[in-house]
Amino acid sequence: MKKFVYLFKEADGKNKALFGGKGANLADMTNLGMPVPQGFIITTEACNQYYRDGRMINDVITAQIRQKLDALEKMTGKKFGDVNNPLLVSVRSGARVSMPGMMDTILNLGLNDEVVVGLANLTGNERFAYDSYRRFIQMFSDVVMQQDKSKYERILDKIKTEKKVQDLTADDLKEIVKLFKDLYKKSQGEDFPQEPQTQLIEAVKAVFRSWDNDRANVYRRMHDIPYEWGTAVNVQSMVFGNMGDESGTGVAFSRNPATGENVFYGEYLMNAQGEDVVAGIRTPLPISTLEKQNPKVYKQFYDIAKKLEKHNKDMQDMEFTIENGKLYMLQTRNGKRTAKAALKIAVDLVSEKLITEKEALMMIDPKQLDALLHPQFDNAALKKAKVIAEALPASPGAACGKICFTAERAKELGGKKGKVVLVRLETSPEDIEGMAASQGILTARGGMTSHAAVVARGMGTACVAGCSDIKFAADEKSFTLGGKKYKEGDVISFDGSTGKIYDGEVKTEPAKISGEFATIMAWADKYRKLQVRTNADNPADAKNAFNFGAEGVGLCRTEHMFFDAERIPAVREMIVSTTVEERKKALAKLLPMQKKDFKGIYKAMQGKAVTIRFLDPPLHEFLPHEDAEIKTLAKEMGLTFDRLKQTVSDLHEFNPMMGHRGLRLAVTYPEIAEMQTQAVIEAAIEVSKAEGYEIVPEIMIPLSCDSKEFKYVRDIVAAKADEVIAKKGASMHYKIGTMIEIPRAAVTADEIAKSAEFFSFGTNDLTQMTYGFSRDDAAKFLSVYYSKKIFESDPFARLDQNGVGKLVKMAAELGRTTRPDIKLGICGEHGGDPSSIEFCHNIGLTYVSCSPYRVPIARLAAAQANIKNPRK
């Protein structure tokens, strides 16, 4: 029979897939002889079995749970449900990777009307016993029975108000327990379960169920965690931080998770349970205080922390409880950290000889670097800015945006739509999507380990926490700070590195790569084989990317230049032309402008390769579609309304994505490709001459689907290029290649490679064509696909290796059969996504090209890919 349940001491600390991260670490600590309250792990396989059985825990698993419970009773000498010496347990989720706050936890399980009396007698602390019982009822009702928790909160508030105290007496708590049990019965239609075995099985089910709740699903999609991993459940005997003033609980990091400094860092609360620290309701004390308060316990904890750090070769994030002066380790894990801290810790661990350079590179999540690449506050602007408050610097970065008070509103107005900051009393797991859409998060309550702080650091989003100066209006639709009233839409700025909050907008400046960041990048360059280029359409972007280490431009989209207000008249003139001569006349006006752009980009890239893609979008994109606008434009262009309207309607397409665009335009209007060729070649000749670079222009023809089609356009371009070179008396090599972004191009790549000198995979369009859905339209139905688990990740963000990737791989192989040295790149958005970069490395591409801000991410991801799977 399959083993679904393991005691901590039976489990393998290396096998996180089976035991989850928390379980594996508890096993590890047990085996290292550390003071861990004992317990057992119900494996991730049991979770998957639960779902396969239709959300039921089958008899085999139930029996194994009983069996391990017996063993636990023997180990602890306590008994589940025993009045004289009761065993109480916590039930916690523990997935393969940490998903903080996403799933459910139940504490104090095993209490009932009789056991609570026994516990009071045993501890001589009636207040503690009833406080534990009321917490348990509340958690069980909320987490296991999914009742409305605010009703319980309201009872608690009511009693507190009546008694006019914060700290309730044992009698108060007894009354509360009674009221809670009444409410439970009213809500549930039955009494609060008194049988501890029943409580346990229901709690385990609840944890399994929470693997599939909405916020867990969103979190997994954001972090590429497969649904099929499942979660383990950890059942651990309870120790009590709320047993009186000799008890307490806390969390600590072995190094500073915000800066990476090698100093012990954390918070604790005496006479409290873990939830009180994490929820951020009471403001905890810094860990340094413990050194004074209880030096023995502090020393023991400190030693354990250092030992764990050495054992796990990484900074540790630990939870502990002190029960009547005795230390217990509840959890350890590699700690989440800011990007800045991640870099410093990695570099420090190498200096400390704990890890190698390669291991250092592997321990940094490339996506996290994003946080360091975005603008910081401009120093000059900062000096002039008005500081209105200062609070905890919970997650670094500069944030500036319009105030939103709810996550929903932030989702509506933020993200790609605009810059918003989320200002909240405190955040909760439901807020995760709104947090992701914000530039930064500002909370009035909670500390450095509050929900807002932990999640913001994980996301690389700026966060200032615990700003108690913020006074919210009763309707929570405005607040006052620094004597001023702020309402939705007002702009504030704050700095997650300093904790300072500023009135209004503060100017920002681009990020720089220096210090540990530069060290890590240098190591990455040393170990990677894949080149990293950038997508840049103008000299400014090119310069930015160059500074971030781009080794060339992989995609310069020329149409972006066409949309410029100064140029679009000539573009439109070209479109309404009815003869080749008219069209050439209009194109002649565009020539000097295009040339100027290209010269700027060549200069910015200082002689590195620049791949210029020829005109791609359908021509109707350059014309208005509403009658009123057509009327205005017709007047401007000296045309009749009917004439222009006719052009617009002639250009109308049923499926523009699959219409007259890309090289199809060059087939119909070769003169457009000729003008662009002239601009590219002349620009390259002139910059080469002026700067002494040896530029080899790369001309990229978009949207090929056929070898003859590509060759037709290639020949036109080559003829024009040769003509321009000859006319200028220059000697210049150039390359002509194509985008592979249509399935047919991928499957006929061997034929296309006969005349194409390079391929660049345009995986945005290739994904659309391969899946047969357009990005614009798919958003509507893909949300259903996510909620039904048909798709687990967004194929536009993460390359679909099963389908689209198969075509990319096939095309790469076919291309190389014809032309073994063919240059292969990728220039879709996937070029900046680490998992897709790993795929590109594995199939032997030459380079990836991504947006300037993703260049350092790609450099690191490429190094990681080569460390995992070295390329010969």
User: In this complex, which beta carbon is closest to a copy of itself, that of residue 420 or of residue 811?
Assistant: 811
User: In this complex, which beta carbon is closest to a copy of itself, that of residue 275 or of residue 653?
Assistant: 653
- Concatenated DSSP letters for 296-351? HHHHHHHHHHHHHHHHHTS-EEEEEEEETTEEEEEEEEEPP--HHHHHHHHHHHHH
> Which tokens in the block code for residue 634?
């017709």
User: In this complex, which beta carbon is closest to a copy of itself, that of residue 296 or of residue 654?
Assistant: 654
> Which tokens in the block code for residue 779?
């958003």
Q: How far is the C-alpha of 725 from the C-alpha of 720, rounded, in Å?
A: 9
User: Minimal distance in Å, beta carbon 855 to a copy of itself?
Assistant: 29
Interface with a copy of itself, residue 579, by CB under 8 A = no
User: In this complex, which beta carbon is closest to a copy of itself, that of residue 100 or of residue 803?
Assistant: 803
Please pick, from the candidates 776, 813, 817, 868, the single residue that binds a copy of itself as defined by CB under 8 A: 776
Interface with a copy of itself, residue 478, by CB under 8 A = no
User: Minimal distance in Å, beta carbon 774 to a copy of itself?
Assistant: 4
Interface with a copy of itself, residue 671, by CB under 8 A = no
Bridge partners (DSSP) of residue 398 are: 495
Candidate ranges 482-490, 693-701, 726-734, 779-787; the one touching a copy of itself (CB under 8 A) = 779-787
Bridge partners (DSSP) of residue 472 are: 479
User: In this complex, which beta carbon is closest to a copy of itself, that of residue 633 or of residue 749?
Assistant: 749
Q: Sign of dihedral through CA atoms 336, 339, 341, 342?
A: positive
User: Minimal distance in Å, beta carbon 747 to a copy of itself?
Assistant: 5
Bridge partners (DSSP) of residue 848 are: 532, 826
One-letter identity of residue 871: R
Measuring CA to CA, which residue among 620, 618, 532, 589 is closest to residue 825? 532
Interface with a copy of itself, residue 161, by CB under 8 A = no
Please pick, from the candidates 132, 217, 254, 748, the single residue that binds a copy of itself as defined by CB under 8 A: 748
Candidate ranges 95-103, 180-188, 342-350, 782-790; the one touching a copy of itself (CB under 8 A) = 782-790
Please pick, from the candidates 706, 722, 723, 757, the single residue that binds a copy of itself as defined by CB under 8 A: 706
Please pick, from the candidates 9, 374, 744, 816, the single residue that binds a copy of itself as defined by CB under 8 A: 744
Interface with a copy of itself, residue 657, by CB under 8 A = yes
Count the residues of the shown chain that bind a copy of itself, applying the rule CB under 8 A.
Answer: 49
User: In this complex, which beta carbon is closest to a copy of itself, that of residue 526 or of residue 652?
Assistant: 652
Interface with a copy of itself, residue 765, by CB under 8 A = yes
Interface with a copy of itself, residue 111, by CB under 8 A = no
Q: How far is the C-alpha of 597 from the C-alpha of 683, rounded, in Å?
A: 9
Please pick, from the candidates 789, 868, 869, 871, the single residue that binds a copy of itself as defined by CB under 8 A: 789
Interface with a copy of itself, residue 655, by CB under 8 A = yes
Instruction: Specify the DSSP class assigned to residue 143.
Output: I
Interface with a copy of itself, residue 708, by CB under 8 A = yes
Burial (Cβ within 10 Å: 0-12, 13-18, ≥19) of residue 222: middle
Please pick, from the candidates 774, 818, 835, 842, the single residue that binds a copy of itself as defined by CB under 8 A: 774
Interface with a copy of itself, residue 788, by CB under 8 A = yes
One-letter identity of residue 646: Q
Interface with a copy of itself, residue 512, by CB under 8 A = no
Interface with a copy of itself, residue 784, by CB under 8 A = yes
Please pick, from the candidates 433, 616, 709, 794, the single residue that binds a copy of itself as defined by CB under 8 A: 709
Interface with a copy of itself, residue 807, by CB under 8 A = yes
Interface with a copy of itself, residue 383, by CB under 8 A = no
User: Minimal distance in Å, beta carbon 223 to a copy of itself?
Assistant: 20
Among this protein's residues, is 451 annotated catalytic? yes
> Which tokens in the block code for residue 608?
């590195």
Catalytic pick among 404, 451, 841, 850: 451
Candidate ranges 168-176, 520-528, 593-601, 788-796; the one touching a copy of itself (CB under 8 A) = 788-796
Interface with a copy of itself, residue 375, by CB under 8 A = no
Q: Sign of dihedral through CA atoms 187, 192, 197, 203?
A: positive
Q: How far is the C-alpha of 502 from the C-alpha of 508, rounded, in Å?
A: 13
User: In this complex, which beta carbon is closest to a copy of itself, that of residue 635 or of residue 754?
Assistant: 754
Candidate ranges 75-83, 386-394, 559-567, 737-745; the one touching a copy of itself (CB under 8 A) = 737-745
Measuring CA to CA, which residue among 626, 692, 659, 636 is closest to residue 769? 659
Interface with a copy of itself, residue 267, by CB under 8 A = no
Interface with a copy of itself, residue 786, by CB under 8 A = no
Measuring CA to CA, which residue among 300, 331, 330 is closest to residue 316? 331
User: In this complex, which beta carbon is closest to a copy of itself, that of residue 444 or of residue 804?
Assistant: 804
Candidate ranges 64-72, 284-292, 766-774, 848-856; the one touching a copy of itself (CB under 8 A) = 766-774
The secondary structure element, H or E, covering residue 421 is: strand 420-424
User: Minimal distance in Å, beta carbon 790 to a copy of itself?
Assistant: 5
In 10 A of CB 67, how many CB atoms? 13
Helical spans, DSSP H, in 496-618: 515-527, 539-547, 559-562, 568-576, 580-604
Interface with a copy of itself, residue 722, by CB under 8 A = no
- For residue 251, give Cα distances in angstroms to 16, 164, 287, 854: 22, 31, 8, 34
Candidate ranges 132-140, 185-193, 230-238, 801-809; the one touching a copy of itself (CB under 8 A) = 801-809
Interface with a copy of itself, residue 228, by CB under 8 A = no
Please pick, from the candidates 769, 840, 850, 857, the single residue that binds a copy of itself as defined by CB under 8 A: 769
List all residues 6 or more positions away from 125 whose beta carbon is below 8 Å from its beta carbon: 243, 244
Kind of pairing between the strands at 735-740 and 698-701: parallel
User: In this complex, which beta carbon is closest to a copy of itself, that of residue 314 or of residue 765?
Assistant: 765
Interface with a copy of itself, residue 791, by CB under 8 A = yes
The answer to whether 128 touches 108, Cβ cutoff 8 Å, is no
User: In this complex, which beta carbon is closest to a copy of itself, that of residue 255 or of residue 720?
Assistant: 720
- For residue 186, give Cα distances in angstroms to 142, 157, 192, 319: 14, 19, 10, 36
Interface with a copy of itself, residue 797, by CB under 8 A = no
Interface with a copy of itself, residue 668, by CB under 8 A = yes
Alpha carbon 418 to its chain centroid, in Å, reads: 19
Among this protein's residues, is 47 annotated catalytic? no
The answer to whether 591 touches 538, Cβ cutoff 8 Å, is no
Interface with a copy of itself, residue 743, by CB under 8 A = yes
Candidate ranges 21-29, 279-287, 473-481, 768-776; the one touching a copy of itself (CB under 8 A) = 768-776
Gyration radius of the chain's alpha carbons = 32
Bridge partners (DSSP) of residue 532 are: 848
Q: How far is the C-alpha of 576 from the C-alpha of 644, rounded, in Å?
A: 7
User: Minimal distance in Å, beta carbon 833 to a copy of itself?
Assistant: 19
User: In this complex, which beta carbon is closest to a copy of itself, that of residue 800 or of residue 833?
Assistant: 800
Catalytic pick among 400, 827, 840, 850: 827
Kind of pairing between the strands at 500-503 and 491-495: antiparallel
List all residues 6 or more positions away from 761 whose beta carbon is below 8 Å from its beta carbon: 739, 740, 741, 808, 811, 824, 825, 826, 827, 828, 845
418-457: string of b/e by CB count within 10 Å (b at 16+)?
ebbbbbbebbebebbbbbbbbbbbbbbbbbbbbbbbbbbb
Interface with a copy of itself, residue 556, by CB under 8 A = no
Interface with a copy of itself, residue 800, by CB under 8 A = yes
3 state SS of 5? strand
**Which spans of this chain sit near a copy of itself (rule: CB under 8 A)?**
653-660, 664, 667-668, 703, 705-706, 708-709, 712, 741-744, 747-748, 751, 765, 768-774, 776-778, 780-781, 784-785, 788-791, 800, 802-804, 806-807
Active site residues per annotation: 451, 827
